[in-house]
Chains A and B, each alone.
Chain A
Amino acid sequence: MNDLTQLIGLAPVKARIAQVTALLAVDSARRDLGLAGTPPGLHMSFTGNPGTGKTTVALEMAGILHRLGYSRKGHLVSVTRDDLVGQYIGHTAPKTREVLKRAMGGVLFIDEAYYLYRPENERDYGQEAIEILLQVMENQREDLVVILAGYKDRMDRFFESNPGLSSRIAHHIDFPDYSGEELSRIADLMLDRMGYTFDEGARVAFGRYIERRATQPHFANARSVRNALDRARLRHASRVFPKLAGADRDLLVTLRAEDILASRVFDDDSAGGPDA
Chain B
Amino acid sequence: MRITQGAFSFLPDLTDEQIRAQVGYCLDKGWAVSLEHTDDIHPRNTYWEMFGQPMFDLKDAAGAMAELAACRATFPARYIRVNAFDASRGWEAVRLSFIVNRPKDEPGLRLRRTEAEGRVQRYSIEPYATTMPEGRRYQ
Contact = CB atoms under 8 A, between A and B. Distances in A.
Interface in A70-129: 72-73, 75, 94, 98, 100-102, 104-106
Contact of B59 (A94, A98, A100, A105): A105
A143 B67 CA distance: 14
Interface residues of A, number: 14
A101 to B, nearest CB: 3
Main secondary structure of the interface of A (DSSP, over half): loop
B57 A102 contact: yes
A140 interface: yes
Contacts of B60: 72-73, 104-106, 143
Contacts of B53: 98
Nearest to A100: B63
A144 B53 CA distance: 21
A113 to B, nearest CB: 21
A224 B53 CA distance: 42
B24 to A, nearest CB: 9
Interface centre among B53, B62, B66 (most CB of A within 10 A): B62
A106 B66 contact: no
Q: Which of A100, A102, A144 has the most CB of B within 10 A?
A: A102
A69 to B, nearest CB: 14
Interface in A201-227: none
B73 to A, nearest CB: 14
Contacts of B64: 101
The contact size tier of chain B is 10 to 19
Contact of A75 (B52, B59, B61): B59
A52 B66 CA distance: 36
B27 to A, nearest CB: 9
Contacts of A73: 59-60
A102 B62 contact: no
Interface in B41-97: 52-53, 55, 57-64, 66-67
B59 to A, nearest CB: 5
A2 B58 CA distance: 28
Contacts of B57: 102
Interface centre among B58, B63, B66, B67 (most CB of A within 10 A): B63
Nearest to B63: A101
Contacts of B67: 101
Contacts of B55: 101
Interface in B112-139: none
A140 B66 CA distance: 9
A102 B53 CA distance: 13
Contacts of A140: 62, 66
7 contacts: A101-B55, A101-B63, A102-B59, A104-B62, A104-B66, A105-B60, A105-B61
Interface of A: 72-73, 75, 94, 98, 100-102, 104-106, 140, 143-144
Q: 3 closest pairs, A vs B, by CB?
A: A105-B60, A101-B63, A104-B62
Given A102-B63, A105-B60, 20 more contacts: A72-B60, A73-B60, A75-B59, A94-B52, A100-B63, A101-B67, A102-B57, A102-B59, A104-B58, A104-B59, A104-B62, A104-B63, A104-B66, A105-B59, A105-B62, A105-B63, A106-B59, A106-B60, A140-B62, A143-B62
